[in-house]
Structure 1
Amino acid sequence: MKRIIFYSFSLLIASFLTSCNQSSSGENGEKKLTVGVSMLSMQNEFIVNVHDEIEKKAKESDVELITVDAERSALKQIEQVESFIAQGVDAIIMNPCEVEASSPAVTKALAANIPIINVNSETTAKPSAFIGSDDVESARIAMKFIAEKLNGKGNVLMMHGYMGQAAQIKREQGAREVLKQYPGLKLIAHQTAEWDRAKAMALMENWIQSYGNTINAVFAQNDEMGMGAVKALTDAGLKDKVVVVSIDAIPDALQAVQKGTLNATVFQNAEQQGAQAIETAIKIAKGQSYEKETLIPFQLVTKENLAKFMK
């Protein structure tokens, strides 16, 4: 009944939101905090790693979690957030599918006086808080490594993530910034493989047919695609001649760096992103002070410094 009253008179009692949420803090035998979580895709290893940490910290804090998979659909994600609002959750964590198309979800949550935290990816609509990393920086690091490996000259291919998602837009931006600094580097083709290993392998096979021995480097905007590119190049007997760099430092990629099949990856801290997202959600729901933006640095991973990233 409390929830019905809350939504019916939300304009009148918005100022009491904090105290309402504190009453469901899970302490002294009271009702637990409930947090709704909508993830971009639970088929993506990095996203699963982020979620695993959210789940772990939620258990430690005695928070009830309702997790749903948006399956890369912004429309589905908006519907999921609408469902969270209807359920009267205390806070929402969203891993946005798209910058523009997922924005209405943020607007709807805020209109219902429910705090919403974007994790890992951004929306045009400003959420209560953002936890992630500067994706422009990650691509600058990756492309700079390629430029140095090739001594500033060569033909480069770029595999995009899911088009329209913040990471895809910003990683392209960062890569192109570095390419401008090296006139000898030519971007001969770029296309999306939608963060997917199998799609990346198929795309790389097509590029090998088109460009063959003229390919000098591949920048894949995430490790799943990087691993797909490595497989296709290895099968074609070209891997030793082509520099491949990707982003995220998932376990498969770290092993590939160790073997020498992947030249480098850029570490993105899934654990910190997940942990800080749920910690921020709890703080806002309890009316405590919190950071509106938390940016976790990226780090280049090569054979030389691999040991500190291996678990």
Structure 2
Amino acid sequence: MKRTLIGSALCALLLVGCGQGSSDNKEANGGKKMKIGVTMLSMQNEFIVKVSDEIEKKAQEMGVELIVVDAERSALKQVEQVESFIAQKVDAIIMNPCEVEASSPAVTKALAAKIPIVNVNSETSAAPTAFVGSDDVESARIAMNYIAEKLGGKGNILMMHGYMGQAAQIKREQGAREIFQKNPNLKLLAHQTAEWDRAKAMSLMENWIQSYGANVNAVFAQNDEMGMGAVNALTAAGRKDKVIVVSIDAIPDALQAVKKGTLNATVFQNAQQQGANALETAVKIVKGEKFEKQTLIPFQLVTKENVETFLK
């Protein structure tokens, strides 16, 4: 699904907030409807779309007006979008950062304009007013510990990176390397970015199959889109039953693949809680209420044994 700057039809849907919180939020905001700008990393990414959907759902419940835009993986565009929010005098900003460093000026500019900014799902080096997300180091530890256990602490592993420079990519690599250090008989054969993308991951996996063949024992993909791309390539090459594949996010496709046994495991990241809590936190800040500076939502390992719980 692709979303760009809100068109008139979608805008009408988003700007008509409803729910019991509407009058309270108007009253707390001087009689005006609270307006929050939202800039998301990429609406080509299924998990990010889910987070955005939950922000929109909670905004409708609370009677908050949203302006939602797609940064299309460009930190430069994201900074410009935040500048636009500032010019529109929004009450708060929610940002799903494209990059740790390159998206940081957006935080600095928002705070300089005295507009609170909440980072959701991903981080920046500049400290925002609040952060809502999960510990990405933990997610990689969970995934890699599963691989280490299944391989008995010995084997050759390939790692697919997400978009280089984004917090999730940096921290998931950090978590993975911690497990490699604890398991000296696990060898990292190769690692390369597939930019969170299924098609790019499939192409990369095809290249790796040609290069490493039967030497590959497992693949750690830093998100499910790439994990599914790896599964597709391995299946086409008749190698899937010989290679363990684990990824992160627990998107619907990945859950179905775990159920079928084609994807060995995924790590559940709670898009519903991230999106809803980000919006709730922004509203609390605008209303001058007490709020959590950092909200971390735990990850959970999903295997064939417990996947039905997550499919409900």
Q: Is the shorter-chain TM-score for this pair beyond 0.5, marking a shared fold?
A: yes
Which residue in the other structure is 2:232 paired with?
231
Which residue in the other structure is 1:148 paired with?
149
Matched, 1:188 2:189: yes
Secondary structure, counterpart of 1:245 in structure 2: strand
In the TM superposition, what is the alpha-carbon distance from 1:162 to its structure 2 partner?
0.2
Which residue in the other structure is 2:106 paired with?
105
Which residue in the other structure is 1:299 paired with?
300
Which residue in the other structure is 1:26 paired with?
26
Alignment of 1:131-146 (within 5 A): 131-146=132-147
Distance 1:229 1:149 in 2: 18
Identify unmatched segments of 5+ residues in structure 1.
Answer: 1-22
Distance 1:210 1:50 in 2: 37
Runs of at least 4 residues of structure 1 off by over 4 A? none
- Among all aligned residue pairs of Structure 1 and Structure 2, give the percentage whose two residues are the same amino acid: 81
Aligned residues: 290
Distance 1:273 1:106 in 2: 19
Q: TM-score, normalised by structure 1?
A: 0.91
Matched residue type, 1:84: F
Secondary structure, counterpart of 1:152 in structure 2: coil
Distance 1:194 1:59 in 2: 32
Distance 1:235 1:303 in 2: 22
1:100-125 per-residue CA deviation (whole Å, 9 max, x = no partner) reads 00000000000000000000000000
Which residue in the other structure is 1:91 paired with?
92
1:175-233 per-residue CA deviation (whole Å, 9 max, x = no partner) reads 00001111111000000000000000000000001001111000000000000000000
Contact 1:24 1:33 (C-alpha < 8 Å) held by counterparts: no
Distance 1:99 1:274 in 2: 19
Distance 1:263 1:62 in 2: 42
Contact 2:202 2:226 (C-alpha < 8 Å) held by counterparts: yes
Which residue in the other structure is 1:42 paired with?
43
Distance 2:103 2:158 in 1: 29
Contact 2:25 2:62 (C-alpha < 8 Å) held by counterparts: no
Secondary structure, counterpart of 2:305 in structure 1: coil
Matched residue type, 2:210: Q
Q: Which has the larger radius of gyration?
A: 1
In the TM superposition, what is the alpha-carbon distance from 1:24 to its structure 2 partner?
9.5
Secondary structure, counterpart of 2:288 in structure 1: coil
Contact 1:24 1:31 (C-alpha < 8 Å) held by counterparts: no
Which residue in the other structure is 1:20 paired with?
none
Which residue in the other structure is 2:70 paired with?
69
Secondary structure, counterpart of 2:25 in structure 1: coil
**Superposition CA RMSD, Å:** 1.5
Q: TM-score, normalised by structure 2?
A: 0.91
Contact 2:163 2:195 (C-alpha < 8 Å) held by counterparts: yes
In the TM superposition, what is the alpha-carbon distance from 1:26 to its structure 2 partner?
2.1
Which residue in the other structure is 1:289 paired with?
290
Distance 2:93 2:24 in 1: 15
In the TM superposition, what is the alpha-carbon distance from 1:247 to its structure 2 partner?
0.2
In the TM superposition, what is the alpha-carbon distance from 1:27 to its structure 2 partner?
4.1
Matched, 1:266 2:256: no
1:82-104 per-residue CA deviation (whole Å, 9 max, x = no partner) reads 00000000000000000000000
In the TM superposition, what is the alpha-carbon distance from 1:25 to its structure 2 partner?
3.0
Which residue in the other structure is 1:59 paired with?
60
Contact 2:196 2:225 (C-alpha < 8 Å) held by counterparts: yes
Which residue in the other structure is 1:276 paired with?
277
Identify unmatched segments of 5+ residues in structure 2.
Answer: 1-22
Contact 2:155 2:185 (C-alpha < 8 Å) held by counterparts: yes
Secondary structure, counterpart of 1:93 in structure 2: strand
1:211-270 per-residue CA deviation (whole Å, 9 max, x = no partner) reads 011110000000000000000000000000000000000000000000000000000000
Contact 1:24 1:32 (C-alpha < 8 Å) held by counterparts: no
Which residue in the other structure is 2:117 paired with?
116
Secondary structure, counterpart of 2:291 in structure 1: coil
Matched, 1:200 2:209: no
